[in-house]
Amino acid sequence: MESSRDDFIIAIRSAFLKKGTKQRFSLLSLIFFSIIFLILGSLNFKAINYVKIGIKEIVYRSSFIVSSPENFIKDNYLLVQNHLNLYKENEKNKSELASLISKDLLNKFIILENKRLKKIIDDYLVKSNTIIAKVLSDKGSPFLKSIIINKGSKHNINLGMVAMDGAYLVGKVVEVNYFSSRILLLSDLNSKIPVIVEPNEVFSILSGTGEAYGVIQYSKKYEDIKSESIIYTSGAGSLFKAGIPIGRINSNYLSEEKKVEFFSDFSQLKFVKIVSFLKDEIE
Amino acid sequence: MTEFRNKNFIRKISSKIPLILLFASVLNEYDFNYLGLKYFSFNFSYILIFYYSLKKSESLGYIYIFIAGLFNDVVMGTPIGLSSLMYLILCGAAAYLRNITLRPSLIKDCIFFLITILIINSLLFMALNFIFNYNLDYLDQIINITYTFLLYFLFSNLFDFFETYLVGRTNAG
């Protein structure tokens, strides 16, 4: 009994304290070092923050280069898939286009009318500053849904700015470095944004699930949310401008969950618009 | 003379391949997410670090593993130092297994690997969930652990083949 305990201690001591061949540090010292790194990092220690920024700048660029072979395979895989779906999509697009053209005319009228009415009630219009950024890396890992873009504080990117794919919302800036930034996608488990579900004007919170869809949560008028309803940002809490389209309800009658199918495909983002919305004076 | 120099160069390159693979895997994340497979993900770096810490500890220096962990944290967006800690615990477990093993067997290695990644992922889950307030999906973690464990058999044989027939042959030459 005594000797087996001794053997265990010797094996543990040898594993953690002994420096192996060609090893400059013992395992235990590096473990302590990483714990110190972790603690100081969470306490926002200045020196660690500088090291972090340095590592991030190097890693984001290297990751983009290292990922290029996988990205090449991924792009080709998606290209083949797109070709296979081309005929079906074309038929669907034709019918959608016809109905959209008629809706567009109506929309133009509504926009003008909206501006006129806002002017009457003395509300403010919103002006936006747009920066186009290239997606350096899209780490769609099971643990975190985020993308890295090639614009940072040097290009006037700030925390909380909105990332859009065309007219659709994709996420917001959660980390800004000098030459790069990280965008937390709407599909991430940690993403929660105030939204409005139209028609029926249901205010709610859209939460990410870690999958390709989001879910509607914390709503009192849950039963008013119908399938195919459209989700827009509500503008509550001044986080986002109101009325940015996000997705469509795709609820399964067998499940209670109100699933949101995003308009933008986050796995195929190449460029995103980084937008900050400011209040504008009405002429 | 030229042949000798060439062999020396190939030997040097092949001895660095585990290190190159480690950094490529943390920077690139070999997870095949673009295939859209919902129930498939694995952690290649865990397999690589465990195998090489167990079989050829001189191939991957602890300091490189530590740096690779920092890189992984930056790519994944997790708190810096966390992956390094997990990788080093994995190294420690592999070193402990190496010290107590008299007759190596793949089955024993695999079972030890499974226990180690279960502990590591539990630590990671607890740290991210309770200390750093990250939301993680429990099912995703289980899937990741299962595939990492299952693929250890495959990669272990591949690395064995690589070490015996490619690195070994150039060493012998």
Q: Does B147 touch chain A (CB under 8 A)?
A: no
Asked if the model's pLDDT at residue A216 lies above 80, the reply is: yes
Let me know if residue A166 belongs to a domain.
yes
Shortest CA distance to B170 belongs to which of B1, B2, B56, B5? B5
CA distance B103 to B105: 7
A25–B84 C-beta distance less than 8 A: no
B85–A31 C-beta distance less than 8 A: yes
CA distance A142 to B106: 28
CATH node for B17-172: 1.10.1760
Domain boundary among A123, A145, A166: A123
A202 shares its domain with A110: no
| More confident call, B157 vs A234 | B157
Low-confidence ranges of chain B (pLDDT < 70): 1-7, 29-38, 167-173
Shortest CA distance to A71 belongs to which of B153, B22, B32? B32
- Averaged over A60-84, what is the pLDDT? 81
pLDDT of residue B172: 41
- The C-alpha of B73 sits at a distance from chain A's nearest C-alpha, in angstroms, of 9
pLDDT of residue B1: 54
A114 shares its domain with A53: no
pLDDT of residue A86: 87
A183 shares its domain with A212: yes
- Averaged over A30-47, what is the pLDDT? 85
A46 shares its domain with A139: no
Shortest CA distance to B64 belongs to which of B8, B112, B13, B26? B26
Q: Which of A27, A60, A77, A172 best probes binding to B when mutated, by most B CB atoms within 10 angstroms?
A: A27
CA distance B74 to B20: 18
| Chain B residues inside the 8 Å CB shell of A189 | 134-137
Nearest to A37 among B28, B57, B81 (CB): B81
Let me know if residue A1 belongs to a domain.
no
* Helices vs strands, H then E, count in chain A: 5, 12
| Chain B residues inside the 8 Å CB shell of A191 | none
Domain, as residue range, for A43:
25-65
Read off the pTM.
0.68
Q: What pLDDT digit, counting tens, does each position of A192-212 carry?
A: 888 888 777 788 888 888 877
Please classify residue A9 by burial: count the beta carbons closer than 10 Å to its beta carbon, then call 0-12 exposed, 13-18 middle and 19+ buried: exposed
Q: Which of A82-91, A116-125, A141-150 has the lowest mean pLDDT?
A: A116-125
A58 shares its domain with A172: no
A211 shares its domain with A96: no
A167 shares its domain with A280: yes
Pairing, β A271-280 against β A162-165 = antiparallel
| Chain B residues inside the 8 Å CB shell of A33 | 66
* Range with top average pLDDT, A67-81, A161-175, B21-35: A161-175
Domain boundary among A123, A156, A191: A123
- The C-alpha of B155 sits at a distance from chain A's nearest C-alpha, in angstroms, of 19
- Considering just the CA atoms, what is the radius of gyration of chain A in Å? 25
A83 shares its domain with A181: no
A227: its two tokens: 């399938």
Angle subtended at Cα B107 by Cα B18 and Cα B169, rounded to the nearest 5 degrees: 40
For A181, other C-beta atoms within 10 Å of its C-beta total: 28
Sign of CA dihedral A88, A91, A94, A98: negative
| More confident call, A67 vs B172 | A67
Q: Which of A31-40, A254-263, B74-83 has the lowest mean pLDDT?
A: A254-263
ipTM of the complex: 0.81
Q: Is the peptide bond before A199 cis (omega within 30 degrees of 0)?
A: yes
pLDDT of residue B90: 92
A147 shares its domain with A274: yes
A260 shares its domain with A161: yes
Q: Which of A10, A78, A141 best probes binding to B when mutated, by most B CB atoms within 10 angstroms?
A: A141
Asked if the model's pLDDT at residue A89 lies above 90, the reply is: no
A32 shares its domain with A87: no
A140–B33 C-beta distance less than 8 A: yes
Q: Which of A10, A28, A31 best probes binding to B when mutated, by most B CB atoms within 10 angstroms?
A: A31
A78–B66 C-beta distance less than 8 A: no
Length of chain A: 283
* Range with top average pLDDT, A20-29, A127-136, A199-208, B108-117: B108-117
Q: Where are the domains of chain B?
A: 17-172
Q: How many CA atoms lie within 13 A of A54 on its CB side?
A: 7
A140–B76 C-beta distance less than 8 A: no
> Please, what is the end-to-end C-alpha distance for chain B in angstroms?
13
Report how many domains make up chain A. Answer: 3
* Chain position carrying tokens 């509300």: A123
| Chain B residues inside the 8 Å CB shell of A7 | 100
A166 shares its domain with A227: yes
Let me know if residue A19 belongs to a domain.
no
| Chain A residues inside the 8 Å CB shell of B95 | 14-16, 20, 27
- The C-alpha of B32 sits at a distance from chain A's nearest C-alpha, in angstroms, of 9
